Amino acid sequence: MSIERIGVVGGGLMGSGIAEVNARAGISVVVVEVSDEAAAAARDRISSSLQRAVDRGKLTEPERDKTLDAIVVSTDLTDLADRQLVVEAASEKESVKLDLFTRIGAILEDPDAILASNTSSIPIVKLGAVSGRPDHVMGVHFFNPAPVMKLVELIPSLTTGEKTLDRMRTYVADQLGKQPIDATDRAGFIVNSLLVPYLLSAIRMYEAGYASAKDIDNGMVLGCGHPMGPLALSDLIGLDTIQAIGESLYEEFKEPLYSPPPLLDRMVDAGLLGKKSGQGFYPYG
């Protein structure tokens, strides 16, 4: 059974990207934000992204307009009631996600509707437990920028039904045209379990004065062939997100390499979150 109606909770960088991907695939999308201002910003973010695709020749103007027409932005969670799939893309805070899964689980009308989280690290089984439909809950982890990145991690928990996982594999591969990979429900899943310790190590190196941010990044780009250095990548992901994933990894495994270094904590406290705030390890105009 294909997905024809999807809801996205959160219209930030990830949520707006997920909404765009689905609308471009011909799926009806409802995006829910916390305020009118945030809803307007989400709409503008999607519109700007689509216009960039037009400017680059990746999308025609009629395709842009059709995609925008497929997206409704709201501030009311009850507008998700008729959705077949809801993807939660709110802030990476466990308390926020648990509250949303409790409320959305009670709103969905279709007993077969799937409730998914785009979390980078929070245990899926906890979200399923409060949803009232644990067999229909799983992780669906898109990567930033969602319209460009081909990978999607699928994370079933101990209580996720096989039918739910099969539907999501088909949805990701056949409807969105992306590559799904299966991961177990452990903090960090596959990609972040490998990536975040590397990023934290680069931050520790910079903190200790081994080298400048530019030289650390150039070392990995020019010496290892990476498309982007670790500090620039941390800025792109968001330093608050890196901190949250590191804390989640450390909480589960107690490995020192997962613990966020003091510099990262100080930067987040100061609001220096990377590209989205205009300043991280580098300034952004």
User: Which pLDDT belongs to residue 120?
Assistant: 79
Cis peptide before 134 (omega within 30 of 0): no
Token digits of residue 138: 């799983």
For residue 23, give Cα distances in angstroms to 58, 117, 156, 171, 232: 15, 18, 25, 13, 30
Give the distance from CA 170 to its chain's centroid.
20
Looking at residue 108, its pLDDT comes to 97
- 131, 141, 234, 259: the active-site residue: 141
* Type of residue at 241: T
SS3 116: strand
Catalytic residue (one of 117, 131, 153, 234):
153
Counting every residue, how long is the chain?
A: 285
Bridge-based pairing state of the strands 114-117 and 85-88: parallel
What rounded mean pLDDT belongs to the chain? 95
What is the domain-level CATH number for residue 19? 3.40.50.720
What are the structure tokens assigned to 188, written together?
A: 């960090």
Six-digit token string for 200: 């934290």
Is 285 a domain residue? no
17 and 140 both lie in a single domain: yes
Q: Domain ends where: 141, 161, 182?
A: 182
DSSP E strands, 40-136: 71-74, 85-88, 114-117
* Model pLDDT for residues 1-55, shown as the tens digit of each residue: 799 999 999 999 899 999 999 999 999 999 999 999 999 999 999 999 999 999 9
Residue 192 annotated among the catalytic residues of the structure:
yes
The CB density around residue 158, as the number of other CB atoms within 10 Å, is 11
The single residue of 22, 117, 118, 120 carrying the catalytic annotation is 120
Q: How many domains does the chain have?
A: 2
Please check whether residues 217 and 84 belong to one and the same domain.
no
- Tell me the per-residue pLDDT of 112-157, one tens digit each, with 9 for 90 and over: 999 999 987 788 999 999 999 999 999 999 998 899 999 999 999 9
Last residue of a domain, one of 128, 149, 182: 182
Per the domain annotation, does 135 fall within a domain?
yes
**Residue among 192, 234, 248, 259 flagged as catalytic:** 192
Do residues 55 and 123 share a domain?
Answer: yes
The reply to whether 120 belongs to the active site is yes
Q: Residue 253's domain spans which residues?
A: 192-277
The domain spanning residue 244 has which CATH number? 1.10.1040.10
141 catalytic per annotation: yes
* Structure token digits, residue 193: 């379990």
* Cα first-last separation, the chain: 45
Residue 80 resides in a domain: yes
